[in-house]
Amino acid sequence: MEDFYKDLEERFLKKTKKLGNIHGCVAWDGYVDKLGYGVMNVNWPREGAKKERAHRLAYMIKERISHNDMPRLDENNNRIECSHLCHNKTRVNSEHIKLEPHAT
């Protein structure tokens, strides 16, 4: 499975560019959907082909988890999602993405 994530990360990084700012931002340079989110197709070994939002995919690659393994609820049963700390939909530095309730 590690080979899958290494290959996925390599494909992912080809669609990004480091911005060189003091914050260490990384911009998505691939396809962007009508809502402004980066999107990449992934053929998951167990789940098959899925369109993944780039910021979520950055988190999945970092944590080595698949689409179906993404946490959906926090310890209080609140729905959680991947959130950009910089509030920019096209930023994909995995260090700037965390899971938090939608209300946050």
The dihedrals phi and psi of 30, each to the nearest 5 degrees, come to -100, -155
What is the C-alpha separation between 92 and 86, in angstroms, rounded? 10
User: pTM for the whole thing?
Assistant: 0.90
Per-residue pLDDT reduced to its tens digit, 52-76? 999 999 999 999 999 999 988 888 8
The residue ranking higher by pLDDT, 34 or 21, is 34
- Helix extents (H) in 40-95: 54-63
